[in-house]
Structure 1
Amino acid sequence: MAEVNQTVDSGEIAKFEAMAAEWWDPNGKFKPLHMLNPTRLDYITRQIAAEFGRDLKAPRPFEGLRLLDIGCGGGLLSEPMARLGATVVGADAAPRNIPVAQVHAEQSGLSIDYRHTTAEALAADGEQFDVVLNMEVVEHVSDPLAYLTACQQLLKPDGLMICSTINRNPKSFLMAIIGAEYVMRWLPKGTHEWQKFITPDELYDLIRQAGLDPVDRKGFVFNKLTWTWSISDSDLGVNYVTASVKRS
């Protein structure tokens, strides 16, 4: 927080605090993300535990692991990873997200290294991580292969990348574009470009070209009747997630 205090005045801090409260309100404008987050965390934690032989019942099972959360936003994934014992760097290309995340981490008594930066810049600096969380970012970049290659460079040997994105098919256009942006208004119009969505097979191919070994993929499925998300072995029709390893 020292850097934030040096660059913004108290009025700005008050605005960031208000934004942080909104970002973290489970019934506010980010409610859909809060609804998905437990499902994302379930997948992430189980993959990390399996890859590094950790016991999720332990108080801080990820102690000793250095983790990068690319596209961290307000810190909805960074904070639980820190609570589980990981040393967390949260990075976001949107500068206004960083002070929001910093304020909430401070309010929560957590030490998280939030930075306004990119995967490419971190790789150029020689940063290395045991785990890279790459959630809902790859569909927004101009060069997915170059981006995933930077993520690969950020991993230590035997490191793990979790990457989620959105499939490209008529169903995803209906649900992720029409439904989420125009009908439910969960997201601002224009948040996603359907043509930039990536199919699971395309993502696996890109991950391999980037130098990683994909080891798992699952779907995140929204049930409109129960208004809940779940993990599916077979339905990767819209939202899905992958796990990949950097072989030593």
Structure 2
Amino acid sequence: MTATTINDAEIAKFTAMAEEWWDPKGKFKPLHKFNPVRMSYIREHLLNHFKLDGAAMRPFEGLSILDVGCGGGLLCEPLARLGATATGIDAAERNIVIARLHAEKSGLDIDYQATTSEALAAQGKTFDMVLNMEVVEHVDNVPLYMKSCADLVKPGGLMLTATLNRTARAYALAIIGAERVLRWLPVGTHDWNKFLTPDEVKALITRNGLEVTAETGVVFHPLADEWRKSRDMAINYMVMAQRPAA
């Protein structure tokens, strides 16, 4: 039997919510709120790493970017608008259907595939940047998942991993607060036991031949109603890594 990262219960959970991906007030409202800080971080590191012109209309022209667990395409679409050759993969086929329809309506050419990171890696595909955003806490076989994501990074390329820390604060805010009190997310969206600490993520990254180059926490500012980068990595955080050039 071929090893897989697919967790059937997680796939069913996100399939049930698939129709709401592009509703900024729906079940994916937190991701819509989260997108600006994610995109800003991605843009900053792509411009610096590949020495691109930030003033250009399409600064990512010529770069191939893969979004693993792309959902409805909330990251793929802005990346495509900035010129990237964007590929989005998701194990939930309904998510891919929604993503394709929305991209078509938006006039964007994005390669969406209902597949997994390990399947794509087995085909020998590689990309200038791999986005591993809020996915690792939803998969089975985390070591296989992180290896397959790392294998998809070209020499000299980047990988960004974003997830939730396994702390008491993360449990209190991401599960008790976000799911049960504020109702930002459906109850059961997250399992605290599947959260990874930054040290665990960085160990998995370096084990698979990448070098960690930057890390940041992300915190919500309620008065401004927005997410911002922070030194506080106790709840949400992002880790940037690169594969050494050949």
Q: Given the two structures, how large is their TM-score scaled by the length of structure 2?
A: 0.89
Superposed CA offset, 1:101-155 (max 9, x none): 0000000000000000000000001111111011001111222221111111111
Question: What 5-or-longer segments of structure 1 have no aligned partner?
Answer: 1-18
Q: 1:20 to 1:105 in 2, by over 3 A?
A: farther
- 1:184 aligns with 182
Separation in 2, partners of 1:99, 1:222? 31
Identity of aligned residues (%): 55
- 2:121 aligns with 123
The alignment status of 1:238 with 2:231, answered yes or no, reads no
Contact 2:18 2:94 in 1 (8 A): no
- Equivalent pairs counted in the alignment come to 229
Q: Given the two structures, how large is their TM-score scaled by the length of structure 1?
A: 0.89
- 2:58 aligns with 60
Corresponding letter in the other structure for 2:206: R
Contact 1:20 1:103 in 2 (8 A): no
Structure with larger Rg: 1
> Following TM superposition, by how much is the alpha carbon of 1:187 offset from its aligned partner in structure 2, in angstroms?
1.7
1:49-198 equivalences under 5 Å are 49-198=47-196
Superposed CA offset, 1:31-70 (max 9, x none): 2211111011001111111111112210111111111010
Question: What 5-or-longer segments of structure 2 have no aligned partner?
Answer: 1-16
Quick one: which of 32, 44, 47 aligns to 1:46?
Answer: 44
Corresponding letter in the other structure for 2:235: V
The alignment status of 1:221 with 2:219, answered yes or no, reads yes
More displaced, 185-194 or 26-35? 26-35
Superposed CA offset, 1:47-99 (max 9, x none): 11111111221011111111101010010000001011110110001111001
Superposed CA offset, 1:162-220 (max 9, x none): 11000011000001111111112222222111111111111111111121101100011
Contact 2:21 2:71 in 1 (8 A): no
